[in-house]
Amino acid sequence: MTSAKMQGLAAKMRGMDLCLLTTVSSHGRLASRPMSNNGEVEYDGTSYFFTWANSRMVRDIQANKHVQLGFRAEKGFLFVAVQGEARVLTDRRVMKDHWHEELRQWFGDGLETEGLVMLVVDAKRIQWWGEEDGTIEL
């Protein structure tokens, strides 16, 4: 999506790396954990995360694709909530496009790390609060 509203939000989000990824657990409760979104990426409504195939997060997503991402700017006042749908990818060709060498600190063998998967979160609704508030429905 390349709307002016999305471009404006992407500019505000530039440099935001860490977020909380919230899933619905098997008991119907919410479960959140910090994830790195790679703040160098130009946000277009899709987020990518690397994780372990056998993680609770992956099991949660396989059972219920609805997730939320919560971002907060390190400087200034900006909060972003992304409601979306997540999927789990294992295709190394797709993963390669989103791999950064700094990820080796968690995944020592790079893309060849046993049990490595990539989560893709496609935004369906984005809300933000800061100097000005807004919402984008996708």
pLDDT digit string, tens, across residues 54-110 = 999 999 999 999 999 999 988 889 999 999 999 999 999 999 999 999 999 999 999
Tell me, yes or no, if the pTM score tops 0.85.
Answer: yes
Sorted by where each begins, the domain ranges of the chain are 4-137
Kindly report the three-state secondary structure assignment for every residue of 88-120: EECCHHHHHCCCCHHHHHCCCCHHHCCCEEEEE
What would the mean pLDDT of 106-130 be, rounded to a whole number? Answer: 96
CATH for 4-137, among 2.30.110.10, 3.40.980.10, 3.30.1280.10, 2.40.50.140?
2.30.110.10
When pLDDT is cut at 50, 70 and 90, the band that residue 2 belongs to is low
What would the mean pLDDT of 36-60 be, rounded to a whole number? Answer: 90
What would the mean pLDDT of 28-54 be, rounded to a whole number? Answer: 90
